[in-house]
């Protein structure tokens, strides 16, 4: 029967947990007092891992082995015990007997705790039940675990805790370890594939003076010695294309990039990107290499090209579909943008189809908005969407026969984008005009628009050959091949908001504590909308169903600067999705866990391809000509679904 001090953390009260931590520290202190400090051990012999012993039992039976790992379970049965050791490749049982290791060593073994790191030397055998095991002849404590591990199947299901304490996640959830082993293999296979195609792997700067290669908001830092602001790179593109100018005909890089944007199940501020560039080919060549790479990596890592994701059966072994953006929009919305004359007509059609746009948007932008609204969610099987408008493709070569479009594609699978590629623009004059238009957009308030990179323009003026370029988000690719729901499930240490902000140290104790003074707020320069003069009858008002709702998840809506997507608990047992245009005032991560007020019986409204079922209540006002907004948040003790009267 197991000892009481091996209770999993989930089954203990907080008081019991604290007591067990205290006992573990006392055990360590006793060991140190006896001159047996495990932390003084610098190495131990390991001859085999668990899977090697199990897979090669016939060869190893009766032979001595040395294993090491974490003690995950222990059954004390008088003079003999069984324990389970977890190493990097799995776990294996060990039989420990007082007669084999001696009285003193066995007494010490009985005091070991779950989570301790130990080594065992012994011979390989099978128990009466047929389980491959190691019969211990020597047991050594290598490292003392001072914390109590969560119970394997119930103790670490809190997603937030799993991401914050990934080390615990890897210990108690073997499937998580398998995901990250598979991630490593995926990246290895990508490198093998590209190396086999004659590509040269290179490294380019993470810190840049001009962020370029993508439309994204960068992180800004400062170099003290040079006394200049610098940016964490948002893409790998421009340095790699400089290398094409320099004569490297095939280059690629796999590296971290950083975008100062929202966090969601598909977005992390830092992520891994693969970009490659090949001289003397175009976007058709990039489609061929993308399709072959996805197929080859899946086959080599999974042993099959058939993948299940989001309940959909996918076959990466079949030819990927290829559709122009115009044809795809026509297929799913009924609007043929080849027949739309100009921006004014495009905006009129957008109004008719309830597609939101900004005043600065032109025809090409609105075509892309239609694509996002009507098409993306329908692209389940691997599909290349080709020929993007020039307005949203500042680094891409125009189509010779249709100059308002570019030779660009994106790969979509299950409604998500997995790759982006161009026939690279190598005309320095056209490139300058594109940069100048991007600069105009920045001045108009688009902080994701490109800056003018004079050095890159100079490089192009020396001559860049016709070139195809491709970018693939490694994290999303890993999500696809591991059937992971969130990008955080495939990034070992995803970005998280600190639980507690650092407290400022007090340099001097106050002589006396003053009574708290209520903050005085100046509302003299605040304007609010006039009260409605028209009355509404009570029966009509009573039909509006105002409820308290809990924010379970919140993320920025892709391609929208204003909208946040809320997943809410409204007390019904079914998640409710509401979109609200308050991103200017709140970051999504700060709203998770809050209790808000919503109208829940409004008809669904489709926004950016998502049905918004209700409306969150905010208070709006005007200060010095600028809009102010406060999302109405109430006491967290109010339960989800509580009705307002």
Separation between Cα atoms, residue 122 and residue 288, nearest integer Å: 54
In this model, does residue 529 exceed pLDDT 90?
no
Last residue of a domain, one of 101, 127, 155: 155
Q: What is the pLDDT of residue 515?
A: 44
In a domain, 564, yes or no: yes
In a domain, 475, yes or no: no
Least confident of 354-363, 544-553, 587-596: 587-596
Among 135, 45, 152, 35, residue whose Cα is nearest residue 93: 135
Residue 115 is part of a domain; what is its CATH number?
2.40.50.140
Annotated binding site for Mg(2+): 410, 417
In this model, does residue 500 exceed pLDDT 50?
yes
DSSP 422-471: EEB---HHHHHHHHHHHHHHHHTT-TTSPPP-HHHHHHHHT----EEEEE
In this model, does residue 63 exceed pLDDT 50?
yes
Name the pLDDT band for 254 (thresholds 50, 70, 90): very high
Average pLDDT, the chain: 90
Q: Which domain holds residue 141?
A: 4-155
In a domain, 110, yes or no: yes
Among 420, 422, 414, residue whose Cα is nearest residue 382: 414
In this model, does residue 201 exceed pLDDT 70?
yes
% of residues, the chain, pLDDT over 90: 73
Annotated binding site: 410, 417
pTM equals: 0.76
Last residue of a domain, one of 137, 155, 173: 155
Least confident of 51-55, 349-353, 376-380, 580-584: 580-584
In this model, does residue 7 exceed pLDDT 60?
no
Last residue of a domain, one of 155, 176, 209: 155
Among 596, 591, 584, residue whose Cα is nearest residue 560: 584
pLDDT tens per residue across span 370-401? 999 999 999 999 999 999 999 988 889 999 99
Number of domains in the chain: 2
pLDDT tens per residue across span 242-251? 999 999 999 9
SS3 70: strand
Q: What is the pLDDT of residue 501?
A: 57
Name the pLDDT band for 624 (thresholds 50, 70, 90): low
Least confident of 473-477, 495-499, 615-619, 625-629: 625-629
In a domain, 263, yes or no: no
In this model, does residue 509 exceed pLDDT 50?
no
Enclosing H/E stretch for 135: strand 132-143
In a domain, 114, yes or no: yes
What one-character DSSP code corresponds to residue 360?
Answer: T
In a domain, 599, yes or no: yes
In a domain, 548, yes or no: yes
Least confident of 387-396, 437-446, 546-555, 631-640: 437-446
In a domain, 629, yes or no: yes
Q: What is the pLDDT of residue 628?
A: 82
pLDDT tens per residue across span 100-148? 999 999 999 999 999 999 999 999 999 999 999 999 999 999 999 999 9
The answer to whether 151 touches 171, Cβ cutoff 8 Å, is no
Q: What is the mean pLDDT of residues 16-35?
A: 92
Q: What is the mean pLDDT of residues 259-274?
A: 90
Residue 585: exposure state from Cβ atoms within 10 A (0-12, 13-18, ≥19): middle
Q: Tokens 């103790």, residue?
A: 155
Separation between Cα atoms, residue 428 and residue 418, nearest integer Å: 29
Q: What is the mean pLDDT of residues 525-537?
A: 81
Q: What is the mean pLDDT of residues 155-183?
A: 87
Q: What is the pLDDT of residue 339?
A: 96
């Amino acid at each position: 029967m197991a000892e009481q001090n091996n209770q999993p953390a989930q089954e203990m009260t907080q008081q019991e947990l604290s007591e067990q931590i205290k006992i573990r520290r006392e055990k360590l202190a006793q060991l140190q007092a006896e001159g047996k400090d495990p932390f003084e051990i610098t190495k131990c012999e390991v001859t085999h891992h668990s899977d090697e012993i199990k897979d090669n039992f016939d060869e190893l039976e009766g032979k001595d082995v040395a294993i090491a790992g974490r003690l995950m379970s222990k059954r004390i049965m008088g003079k003999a015990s069984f324990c389970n050791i977890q190493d990097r490749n799995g776990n294996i049982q060990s039989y420990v007997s007082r007669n084999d290791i001696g009285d003193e060593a066995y007494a010490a073994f009985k005091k070991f705790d779950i989570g301790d790191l130990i080594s065992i030397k012994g011979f390989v055998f099978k128990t009466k039940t047929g389980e491959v095991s190691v019969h211990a002849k020597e047991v050594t404590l290598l490292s003392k675990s001072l914390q109590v591990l969560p119970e394997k199947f119930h103790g670490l299901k809190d997603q937030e805790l799993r991401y914050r304490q990934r080390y615990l996640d890897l210990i108690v959830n073997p499937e998580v370890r398998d995901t990250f082993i598979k991630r490593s293999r995926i990246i290895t296979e990508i490198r093998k594939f590209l190396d086999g195609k004659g590509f040269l792997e290179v490294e380019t700067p993470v810190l840049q003076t001009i962020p370029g290669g993508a439309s994204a908001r960068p992180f800004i830092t400062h170099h003290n010695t040079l006394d200049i602001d610098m940016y964490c790179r948002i893409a790998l593109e421009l340095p790699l294309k400089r290398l094409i100018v320099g004569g490297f005909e095939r280059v690629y890089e796999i590296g971290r990039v950083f975008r100062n944007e929202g966090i969601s199940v598909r977005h992390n501020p830092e992520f891994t990107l693969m970009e490659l560039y090949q001289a003397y080919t175009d976007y058709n060549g990039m489609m061929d290499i993308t399709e072959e790479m996805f197929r080859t990596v899946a086959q080599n890592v999974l042993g099959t090209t058939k993948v299940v994701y989001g309940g959909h059966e996918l076959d990466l072994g079949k030819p990927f579909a290829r559709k122009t953006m115009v044809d795809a929009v026509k297929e799913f919305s009924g609007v043929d943008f080849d027949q739309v004359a100009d921006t004014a007509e495009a905006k009129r059609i957008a109004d008719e189809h309830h597609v939101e746009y900004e005043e600065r948007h032109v025809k090409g932008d609105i075509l892309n908005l239609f694509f996002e609204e009507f098409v993306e969610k329908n692209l389940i099987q691997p599909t290349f969407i080709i020929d993007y408008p020039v307005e949203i493709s500042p680094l891409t070569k125009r189509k010779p026969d249709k100059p308002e479009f570019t030779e660009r594609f994106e790969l979509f699978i299950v409604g998500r984008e997995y790759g982006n590629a161009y026939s690279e623009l190598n005309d320095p004059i056209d490139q300058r005009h594109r940069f100048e238009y991007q600069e105009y957009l920045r001045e108009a308030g688009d902080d994701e628009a490109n800056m003018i990179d004079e050095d890159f323009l100079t490089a192009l003026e020396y001559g860049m050959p016709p070139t195809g370029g491709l970018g693939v988000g490694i994290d999303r690719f890993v999500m696809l091949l591991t059937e992971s729901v969130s990008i955080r499930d495939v990034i070992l240490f995803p970005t998280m908001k600190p639980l507690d902000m650092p407290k400022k140290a007090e340099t001097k104790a106050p002589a006396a504590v003053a009574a708290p003074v209520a903050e005085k707020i100046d509302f003299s320069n605040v304007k609010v909308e006039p009260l409605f003069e028209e009355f509404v009858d009570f029966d009509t008002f009573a039909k509006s169903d105002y409820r308290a709702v809990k924010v379970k998840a919140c993320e920025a809506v892709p391609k929208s600067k204003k909208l946040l997507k809320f997943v809410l608990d409204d007390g019904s047992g079914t998640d409710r999705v509401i979109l609200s245009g308050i991103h200017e005032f709140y970051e999504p991560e700060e709203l998770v866990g809050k209790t808000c007020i919503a109208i829940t019986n409004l008809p669904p409204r489709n926004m950016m391809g998502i049905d918004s079922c209700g409306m969150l209540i905010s208070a709006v006002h005007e200060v010095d000509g600028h809009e102010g907004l406060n999302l109405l948040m109430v006491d967290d003790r109010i339960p989800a679904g509580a009705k307002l009267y």
